[in-house]
Chain A
Amino acid sequence: MSMTLDDLRAEWADRARRLDAQLRGTATILRDDWIEKHRERIGRAEGFGKAGMAIWIATMALLGLFLATHAREPALFATAMVLDLWVVAAGVGALARRQALRDLDYGRPVAELQARVEALRIARIRAFNVELATGQIVWWIPFFVVLVDGLFGVNLYAIPGFPAFAAANVAAGVAAIPIAIALARRYGERLSRTSWARRVADSIAGRDIAEARGFLAKLARLESEVQG
């Protein structure tokens, strides 16, 4: 017997119709309180991030307290201010991206919604890269200085030689950025495709953004290649 795709379509559609009929007959729904009962779980699946939010607010509160008590010590104040600005900017960015994700309407046509998802993906990867790069600078010396003063009351800047040590470390942090990019580009693809390290390497190397742009271009071609 010969077979065309239209014959297969008929076979496929017939099977789909039978599935529809079978499922309609067997459905049992506990409708009374399912949504009420699972509302919290559904919210959790949305990536609400209560713990992240609590840590963010606590960090800002502690840094605010530090700034208030060290207003007359310019070096410590400026160091804590850099850290605080980083924390505020990263948190606001994360909240904005989370809200944008929540605002996605999955009932929109596929081409439109997927373009929106991909644009958000690019924004997320860019933010991750910026936070990773600037984090090399912020989350070592400034954090260490503020932590030691906040916990033990020791001003590290007052220790002879510390300013030079701090400057060298900040310079090393800056130098680490291009090195990380070069390593990710050279060796990142050797890592397992599903590993966390591979995802980080792909972000740093720019492969994720290139892939996302490729998908956006594919979406654009969906409409533009008419009657080709």
Chain B
Amino acid sequence: MATPDEARFLDLLKEHKAILYKVAYGYCRDREDRHDLVQEMTIALWRSFGRYDGRVKFSTWAYRVAMNVAISHFRGETRRVRGTVPIDELGVEPASTDPWFEEEGDNLRVLRRLIDGLDELDRALILLYLDGHTGAEIAEVVGISAANVTTRVNRLKQRLQRGFAGTHEPRIRSEEPK
């Protein structure tokens, strides 16, 4: 039987596993690599769970773990864990969401290509922004001030906006930074 801690971890994982898929898709285009990355994230979440003290929301903590694993993976700093543990038994099935992500519309596909051109840290900021997080929430995940997040996200928005306008010239209107 699972211990109370394990049961709580599994409950929270069930509730928040979409975070893993979203972050993995933000950092990996290749399906196999993406599945590996979700597996690495799941293992990292379990290993780190003993240190989760509830001072931040579980979703914030899960984003931190997922992004830290993704950036380390991106930088080639993690061991490859392909096939190490069957995470599908935990209801974490990256393959099940592949079509869901890959059937995105033209606008999101272009945006995805522009995001692929960002470095690992800017990518974290813009993925959090696009997922609907506030400046304060992004600051908690990344560990910089909310003011700095606002400045950086606005710069990134301008950059992506320019890139998007270059690709979709007739359909884009200029936008002043907020």
B residues at A contact (CB < 8 Å): 1-2, 6-7, 10, 14-15, 17-18, 21-22, 43-48, 51-52, 61, 64-65, 67-69, 71-72, 75, 77, 79, 81, 84-86, 89-91, 96-97, 100, 104-105, 107-108, 111, 119, 121, 124, 129-132, 140-145, 147-148, 151-152, 157, 160-161, 164, 168, 171-173, 175
How far is the CB of B82 from the nearest CB of chain A, in Å?
10
Residues of B within 8 A of A114 (CB): 68, 71-72, 121
Q: Cβ of A186 < 8 Å from any Cβ of B?
A: no
B81–A19 touching, CB < 8 Å:
no
A36 to B9, CA, bound (A): 13
Select which of B18, B44, B111 is within 8 A of A20 by beta carbon. B18
Q: Most chain-A CB neighbours within 10 Å: which of B18, B51, B69? A: B18
A41–B121 touching, CB < 8 Å:
no
B51–A107 touching, CB < 8 Å:
yes
Residues of A within 8 A of B97 (CB): 19, 23
A45 to B39, CA, bound (A): 11
Select which of A9, A45, A121 is within 8 A of B84 by beta carbon. A45
Select which of A13, A38, A107, A117 is within 8 A of B77 by beta carbon. A117
Q: Which residue of A lies closest to B9 (CB)?
A: A35
Q: A27-B14, A31-B7, A32-B1 in contact; A105/B130 too (CB < 8 A)?
A: no
A28 to B29, CA, bound (A): 26
A42 to B2, CA, bound (A): 16
B72–A117 touching, CB < 8 Å:
yes
Select which of A8, A35, A111 is within 8 A of B107 by beta carbon. A8
A residues at B contact (CB < 8 Å): 1-6, 8-9, 11-13, 15-17, 19-20, 22-24, 26-36, 38, 41-42, 44-47, 105-114, 117, 121, 215, 218-219, 222-223, 225-228
Residues of B within 8 A of A108 (CB): 64, 68, 143
A215–B75 touching, CB < 8 Å:
yes
Q: A110-B124, A218-B119 in contact; A4/B61 too (CB < 8 A)?
A: no
Residues of B within 8 A of A36 (CB): 2
Select which of B6, B152, B161 is within 8 A of A35 by beta carbon. B6
How far is the CB of B167 from the nearest CB of chain A, in Å?
11
A-B contact pairs, 26 of them (CB 8 A): A2-B171, A3-B107, A3-B168, A4-B172, A4-B173, A6-B175, A12-B130, A13-B131, A15-B104, A22-B100, A23-B17, A29-B89, A41-B85, A45-B43, A45-B79, A106-B47, A107-B64, A107-B65, A110-B121, A110-B124, A112-B143, A113-B68, A114-B72, A222-B144, A222-B148, A225-B151
A109–B141 touching, CB < 8 Å:
yes
Residues of B within 8 A of A33 (CB): 1-2
Residues of B within 8 A of A26 (CB): 91, 96
Residues of A within 8 A of B148 (CB): 222-223, 225-227
B14–A227 touching, CB < 8 Å:
no
A32–B84 touching, CB < 8 Å:
no
Q: Most chain-B CB neighbours within 10 Å: which of A15, A24, A222? A: A222
Q: A3-B107, A8-B108, A9-B132 in contact; A223/B44 too (CB < 8 A)?
A: no
